[in-house]
């Protein structure tokens, strides 16, 4: 299972700071459910725990900018990623099962 302590470390949050644990655990749960559904599996293999943690980190960092594609303020302009990064998608695709009908 994905580790709260790993996600907090990746986010630069001190392990003793428990103020964000609830929301981080929610992102971990959602990332786990996403991977289970995408791969059509019942349990996360140990090889994909890092991917679940990476998705949780990505989604946590997107909090507050979910529906914004780009934003400009004066001469400053920012663009936001709309979907999972390609490296995460590639890792998931390599574990996807093909269903023969």
Q: Dump pLDDT digits (tens) for 35-94.
A: 999 999 999 999 999 999 999 999 998 886 655 566 677 777 666 666 888 899 999 988
**Contacting residues for 30 by C-beta, under 8 A, at least 6 apart:** 56, 59
On whether residue 13 sits in a domain, the answer given is yes
Strand ranges (E), the chain: 70-73, 76-79
Range of the domain at 61: 4-93
**Contacting residues for 43 by C-beta, under 8 A, at least 6 apart:** 36
Residue closest to 60 by CA, chosen among 101, 22, 99, 98: 22
On whether residue 79 sits in a domain, the answer given is yes
On whether residue 15 sits in a domain, the answer given is yes
Report d(CA 74, CA 46) in Å as an integer.
46
On whether residue 101 sits in a domain, the answer given is no
On whether residue 99 sits in a domain, the answer given is no
Structurally, the chain folds into a number of domains equal to 1
């Amino acid at each position: 299972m994905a580790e709260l302590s790993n996600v907090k470390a990746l986010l630069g949050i001190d392990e003793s700071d428990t103020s964000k644990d609830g929301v981080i655990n929610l992102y971990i749960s959602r990332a786990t459910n996403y991977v289970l559904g995408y791969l059509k599996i019942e349990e996360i293999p140990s090889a994909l725990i890092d991917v679940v943690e990476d998705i949780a980190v990505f989604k946590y960092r997107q909090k507050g900018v979910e529906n914004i594609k780009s934003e400009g303020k004066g001469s400053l302009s920012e663009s936001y990623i709309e979907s999972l990064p390609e490296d995460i998608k590639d890792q998931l695709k390599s574990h996807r099962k093909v269903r023969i009908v």
